[in-house]
Amino acid sequence: MLLRFDERVIGLAVVSLILSTLTVLTIAREKVESPLEVLRNEYPSAIVANQRATFSFAVVAREGFEDLLLRFSILTQKTLRPEDLVDPQRQYSAEDDPEEVLNNAVKVAWLRNQTEWLGIRPEKFSHTFEFQGIGCRMVLWDYSSILESLSGQQLALRAPLTYGAILDENGGHYYFEGESGFFFIPQKNVVSLSIAHNTDQTGYLRDDEVRPESKLPISQAPRGVLNYKAVKKDDTFTVTFTVDPRAFPASFASTPLPGRADISVVQVIRAYLDGVLLDQPIINIMA
């Protein structure tokens, strides 16, 4: 006996099959769209003196490439004195460009004037976010990469080369300085650090806690810049560290005032594949 099927049922089945196939293809494309996938990005909501906190970041390569550079930077909010400002009377509104905050800092203005005529310009990034219910716009200027290539990493690490500014929706402004590194003043504040490429792991402890048979001292750890060659598909890279903040940078500031976001620390993570920045930096905001 011949079976007869309603053409509409067959049509719906075909459409359903097409849509399900498209869904599978879309998921597959999303999974391999980026050559580097973030598996984990964990960080504390606030940095509190003498209170331990752990950061953990992991990525996996979805394809092979010749060179991977991971750069971690840490910035802290600073209180600027009148003599640190080009115009101490300068006021800001929510409509202003956050770059105006940087341009009003004497240190940043001096560095810009000294480098522009040499053709040296910072990497610039913009970031919009909400923190503690307050809308914020942020800019970052980073001279680290270019000045490290000219003067050497060790010399460049002696000075803050990363600058940030935030303007919030209420016109509040915030100024930040930092450098390449996992955390500020690491030899005093970092309790432990683990850096792993697949199963190849290197661990670091505070210098006074290291034993001959145990991990390496924090003073010998990389300062936030990790470079890997001949990366293969499915290679994983993990950085985990615990801090116990005991020492803070000079002029460290926190601003828990009405109408202002309490932002003290900003972590920036960038990935460069074969020398090219992958997407936008990962920016983690902490009180």
Q: What percent of the chain has pLDDT over 70?
A: 82
Domain boundaries, the chain: 35-286
Other CB atoms within a 10 A radius of the CB of residue 10 amount to 10
Pairing of strands 216-217, 65-77: unpaired
The more confident residue out of 34 and 104 is 104
Is the separation of the CB atoms in 217 and 223 below 8 Å? Answer: no
Mean pLDDT over residues 70-86, rounded?
Answer: 95
Q: Is the pLDDT at 205 greater than 50, yes or no?
A: yes
pLDDT for 5: 43
Query: What is the per-residue pLDDT for 256?
Result: 64
The radius of gyration of the chain's CA atoms, rounded to the nearest angstrom, is 24
Q: Convert the pLDDT of each residue in 246-270 to its tens digit.
A: 999 887 876 666 678 899 999 999 9
Per-residue pLDDT, averaged over 220-245, amounts to: 97
Non-local CB neighbours of 21 within 8 Å, separated by 6+ positions:
none
- Distances from the Cα of 224 to the Cαs of 166, 182, 233, 268, in angstroms? 23, 5, 23, 10
Q: What is the pTM of this model?
A: 0.83
Burial of 164-191, coded b for 16+ CB within 10 Å and e otherwise, reads bbbbbeeebbbbbbbbbbbbbebeebbb
Where do we find the tokens 């004497």?
106
pLDDT for 252 equals 84
Range 86-95 average pLDDT: 94
| Whole-number pLDDT of residue 149 | 65
Q: Mean pLDDT across the stretch 202-210?
A: 91
Write down the pLDDT at residue 203. Answer: 95
Task: Average the pLDDT over each of 46-50, 153-157, 179-183, 204-208 and give the range with the smallest value.
Answer: 153-157
> pLDDT, tens digit, for every residue of 10-65?
444 443 443 343 333 333 334 457 899 999 999 999 999 999 999 999 999 999 99
Span 123-141, pLDDT tens digits: 999 999 999 999 999 999 9
pLDDT of residue 100: 96
Considering the chain, what is the average pLDDT of its residues? 86
